[in-house]
Structure 1
Amino acid sequence: MKGKPTMKHLMTVSLMLGLASAATAEVTVDNCGTTLSFEATPERIVVHDMNMTEMAFALGLQDKIVGLTGITGWYKTSPTFDAERGDIPELAPKYPSIENLVAASPDLFFAGWYYGMKPGGDVTPDTLAPFGIKTMILTESCVHLDKNRPTASMDLLFDDVLRLGQVMDVEAKAAGLVADWQTQLADIKARTTDQARPRVFLLDGPADAPFTAGKFAIPDAMIAAAGGMNVTHEMDTSWGRSAWETIAAANPEFLVLLDYQTGNGAADTFQFLKDHPVMAHTDAVKNERWIGLRYEELTPGPANIEAIEKMARAMHPDLF
């Protein structure tokens, strides 16, 4: 019969409908316990802070990034970071304003609580929504709004990279990165599992009261992955302050010192501890057992993996 559709024609139509359906399929990811949905892959994104920027770079998203915030106001960048950044502009050296973000017309802002946003502040997912800007929130930071979240694990990094990969339609690349990282960490775990776990204290610079990582911050999980035990694991926070007497009583055997690469960097912090009336008597200080790590190595991002290996090698030199 003239005009009757052939099987080939029906298959072609079916394929076209399937492709159209796939192209418009909604992507939904978890976002601090709520859902974040996209009807199309974001074409213009702004990323806050060095660690989240390095996640985006690892996924090859430079052509979608229309701006960065919170980089040069605090940190020195590496030549590698600068090369990967290219000519991507920085919209604000520290925390962005709504005006900074709206002017860039992004579809997506990747940031976190105290990583570009503050609860009750001017820039939040709710204040950006009226401008058509969706916000993906760094999972580690969600504890600032929900104290019932689980303690830190390396899934804080893995899940965020997988989420970003899903939203930006580079799922295979994200899955490959995570699989490689998991293999690297499995090797470190195999080497350190049967070894004594040194007591580790992380310090974010000299201060009257030590600023350090509690059980919700990713360094807690990193220290465990490197074969150590965080002496501030019981702190019911991500990052927060303790007391020098409390830390000295725990007698750490190894130190992780945040290195802002100013002055003599982490060496200046170690000298502060050597001169400190109570910390000078701890095993870690007396034996000069410490390592300096950069900000992006101690906040959720790709640099975590190499940092864990650095810690493991420094804590367990006989195993590597």
Structure 2
Amino acid sequence: MKKIALFAGIGISLFALAGCSNQKRVVGSKGDQYTVNKDVQKVDNDSSEKEYEPYTITLNLERSGAGQNMEETFTSAPKRVVADGDQMVDFFLDLGLEDHIAGFTRGSCLDTVNDFPARDKLNKILPDGQNLNKASKEQILSLNADFMIGWDSLFSDDNFSVDWCLKNNIIPYFPYSCSDKATMEDVYKDYDTLGHIFGVSDLAEQRVQVMKNTIEEVKNTLGEDVYKNPVSVFVYDSGEDAPFTACQGIPGDMIKLAGGISIFNDIDKGWATPSWEEVVARDPDVILILDYDHDTEAKKKFLETNEFTKNLRAVKEGRIYSASCSDMQGSAGSANAVKLMANEFYPDKFK
């Protein structure tokens, strides 16, 4: 998949603290170093007012080149978020935090499950389909961002390094759900973490419970026998010379919850680029196309005419389905995407 990263900024001054083996910082609205201030803030999550409770997170940024985990303590919510792509934006829109978004990029992956009207009113930094790696540091600084969310590649030395972010009082956030070993539990963890950081933990808990209820409904509908004998699934994200496909991580877990298993589940990564010959050898029961921008039909036509895939059982039997690329990365629409996939894989179970 085209990995997208960054969340539209939420305002809060960020101040560096001392570091031991892990770097530790406290961030708050008063600018006090080495102290934890309790600033009272209004929280709009179906309750009246709440006192902001300081919250500490450990950022796992080793994959981005930071070299170590980093500890951050928030004493007030960020106010100017920069978000890279629809997947990241959806977290904030689902938590009613659109006013915190200083800027965002619309990814190629459109969310087909959640229709958030507020998205159209947000400040778009770059043209559709371009991620923040295309933005300049000057563009980001002009937004007065204090929080960025996205894939780990966004925070590499080639883009907006962790050191650069911290030097400019921007907290980098790499969602747990984006790791190669992620499951739906990590989506819930992102909701819980963002809920605490932005003072909407009650609403985050409600959103998570709704997702858990949806997954439980799917499990009860499919039954144990389905999970013992799942359908084999080839996920077609993109690529003509060789397919870019989902293996493990959040997409792999979502497919398993829907009663399937990726034909490349043996690859110890979230995403990989095997060969077409390997796809043919594994001859999947179904094909799942990841829809980027209503491009399912074009990809389907390619699979139906490509010399390697045109004779696959799934193609001949017409068992080609689609899912939103954004939802399959782990976000607001993931639980509903599991239900939609289960409906496609086992239509007789949902009559």
TM over 0.5: yes
Q: Distance in 1 between matches of 2:342 and 2:298?
A: 23
Structure 2 match to 1:260: 292
TM-score, normalised to structure 2, is: 0.76
1:107-127 residue CA offsets vs partner (Å, 9 max, x unmatched): 21122224xx05221312221
Change (3 A) 1:103 1:25: same
User: Could you tell me which of 201, 211, 225 is aligned with 1:194?
Assistant: 225
1:114-166 residue CA offsets vs partner (Å, 9 max, x unmatched): 4xx052213122211111111111224445xxxxxxx2311221111111111
Structure 2: which amino acid aligns with 1:205? S
Structure 2: which amino acid aligns with 1:56? F
| Residues 206 and 272 in structure 1, CA contact (< 8 A), matched pair in contact too | no
Quote how far apart the aligned CAs of 1:71 are.
0.7
Q: Distance in 2 between matches of 1:318 and 1:259?
A: 24
User: Could you tell me which of 73, 77, 90 is aligned with 1:37?
Assistant: 73
Q: Distance in 1 between matches of 2:293 and 2:77?
A: 37
Displaced runs of 4 or more, over 3 A:
18-25, 74-82, 140-143
Structure 1 match to 2:3: none
Larger helix proportion of the pair: 1
User: Could you tell me which of 166, 171, 176 is aligned with 1:134?
Assistant: 171
1:161-220 residue CA offsets vs partner (Å, 9 max, x unmatched): 11111100100100111011001101101222322310001001341101001223x110
Quote how far apart the aligned CAs of 1:25 are.
4.7
Q: Distance in 2 between matches of 1:242 and 1:168?
A: 40
Structure 2 match to 1:98: 137
Change (3 A) 1:237 1:225: same
Quote how far apart the aligned CAs of 1:75 are.
5.2
Secondary structure, aligned partner of 1:246 = helix
Residue 215 in 1 paired to residue 248 in 2?
yes
| Residues 113 and 324 in structure 2, CA contact (< 8 A), matched pair in contact too | no
RMSD, aligned CA: 2.4
Residue 239 in 1 paired to residue 271 in 2?
yes
Identity of aligned residues (%): 23
Q: Distance in 2 between matches of 1:78 and 1:183?
A: 20
Structure-to-structure mapping, 1:116-135, within 5 angstroms: 117=154, 119-135=156-172
Secondary structure, aligned partner of 1:92 = coil
Structure-to-structure mapping, 1:297-316, within 5 angstroms: 297-316=327-346
Change (3 A) 1:300 1:20: closer
Quote how far apart the aligned CAs of 1:284 are.
1.0
Count of equivalent residues: 289
Q: Distance in 2 between matches of 1:189 and 1:27?
A: 34
Larger Rg: 1
Higher relative contact order (CA 8 A, sep 6+): 2
Structure 1: which amino acid aligns with 2:100? K
TM-score, normalised to structure 1, is: 0.83
Secondary structure, aligned partner of 2:121 = coil
Q: Distance in 2 between matches of 1:19 and 1:267?
A: 53
Gaps of 5+ in 1: 1-17, 144-150
